[in-house]
Amino acid sequence: MNIIPEDSRPNIKRLREILVVLAEYEFGSVIEKIGLRNRLPFSERFYFAGSVDEELDSSVSERLRLVLEDLGTTFIKLGQVISTRPDLVGDEVSQEFTKLQDNTPPFEYEIVKSRIEEELGAPIGEVFSSFDEKPLAAASVGQVHRALLKDGSAVAVKVQRPDLETLVKQDITIMRYLANLIDKRIPKWQYYNLPGIVDEFERSILKEINYGQEARNAKRFKTIFKGDKSIYVPEIYDEYCTSHVLTMEFIEGVKVRDIMENPELGEKFNGKTIARRGAESYFKQVLIHGFFHADPHPGNIYVLKNNVVCFLDFGMMGHIDDEFREELAELFIFIINYDIKGIISQLIYMGIVSENADLKSLKYDIMDLMDRYYDADLKELGKIIKDLGTSKIMEKYQIKLPRDFVLLGRVITMVEDMGQKLDPEFNGVEISKPLAKKLVMRKLSPLRILDFIGGNFFEFEHLMKILPRSISKTMMKLEEGKINIEMEHKNLDALSANIDRSSNRISLSLIIAALIIGSSLIMQTNKGILILGFPFLGIIGFIISAVLGIALVISILRYSNI
């Protein structure tokens, strides 16, 4: 009997809640198709007249968004992750999910107080000299309160909702259960790889709700911009941080969103300077450090005095390894230079496009894509990268781009949009070009060889230890004649059959020729039993030769191999 592990069984009560919400937003046929209609309350088991295709009409994106909002924290976060993957779900769903609203009301101060005291192991009055009971902001994951430490430092304290981690894990189990059912029972949806999306989401959200990870991200981010007076990162107070409580420096500043929406605030700051500093910082994060803020919406970026840009909320971060950064920089340069051949070659080198693809057709498709952005000047690098990962080009050639590539396109697009709203003359390409060229030149530097040797020193050392021994063993086996070579043939069965058939025909032809020659010689002897004056054996030889010859001709005609 197949017993499902306890931690992989969906919570039936929560599953029923999810199915009820799906039914309310007209996804009844999907429920029926995956065999879960009987899980609905009896009163909800109405007849689903429509088909799955009919339910996926023009309103499906909006209805899906409303489903996620009704289901709460985990599903809202799922929608936010999916909104970064237009390559999988399409532009329409991706854009709709960017509208997801987190309208969760704040929880009571007594819960906040109890949570902090439990996490920090001390009464709240011993940790803070004052603590505002009213939250500055609230969301489904947690809420933020302003407080003062005993030394007078103003801090923002982020407190996670109680039992959030348990709820998230419970919902992920149900998501995986539903994704596997859909993947098995609705074949046309297998292309979206829903189980894979759930796995990716699980990794993302478990990091995001771990405030200890967010604190480490913030400190690493601060190190990147150490000494850069144009960028500021809040201080993290480690002694007052746990996986459920985060205490950081309180920032007195103005949100970039407020500056964009309020002309009066815009006059107090220099939009051109803010746009340039924000974009430079992002390209530095991406191309130089490979560690970037993956949620740069205008509410997460503040502006301080003297147009200093300050980043907040480090729960969602992107990572790019050295090799991918160098490849990306080269791709940027090909895009900037409108080098279609170079773009295609680079996409092949990066493993994004297969060499077996119709490269001639792909060339014209990329030319059409690039022509949309080339007027007087190229300014929208992020949109080109994003469109490259979401356009019909990728669907046509069945290409799935790496998650980091698509996420990066979205992030750069958001940065460029903010830059253009702050400064109408903003040009992201001109900002990214020097950094991309610098990275490519670094790759060509002779010192890179020394870095490569240093980075792979232990591998070289292991190879040098193993190599003599392996060569010695191989030579000994050669001398003893004990080298075994295993060969595997593929698709040779048909060839083998044809060779057998041909050899049989040749053998038969030789037998017929021998019979004819032998019979001819016997016919000339006039000895033995005679029939009509001809030797009996000679006549028999000719008859057998004729029968075999006819059979051979029929065989050749049958297999069309004349």
Residues annotated as catalytic (active site), given as ranges: 295
Whether the CB-CB separation of 363 and 342 falls below 8 Å is answered with no
Which run of H or of E encompasses 293? strand 291-293
Q: What are phi and psi of 11, to 5 degrees?
A: -70, 115
d(CA 559, CA 541): 27
Look at residues 150, 146, 111, 143 and name the one whose alpha carbon lies nearest to residue 127.
150
User: Do 139 and 102 touch, CB atoms closer than 8 A?
Assistant: yes
Q: Supply φ then ψ for residue 161, to 5 degrees.
A: -65, 145
* DSSP state letters, 471-510: HHHHHHHHHHT---------S-HHHHHHHHHHHHHHHHHH
Q: At CA 497, angle to CA 491 and CA 501, rounded to 5? A: 155
CB burial of residue 399 (10 Å; 0-12, 13-18, 19+): middle
What the block records as the tokens of 360 is: 């001639």
Q: What is the 3-state secondary structure (H, E, C) of 222-270?
A: HHHCCCCCCEECCCECHHHCCCCEEEEECCCCEEHHHHHHCHHHHHHCC
Residue 527, classed as helix, strand or coil, is coil
Q: How many residues does the chain have?
A: 562
Residue 41 dihedral angles phi and psi, to the nearest 5°: -55, 150
Q: For residue 528, count CB atoms less than 10 angstroms from its CB and return exposed for 0-12, middle for 13-18, buried for 19 or more.
A: exposed
Burial grade of 153 (CB within 10 A; 0-12, 13-18, 19 or more): middle
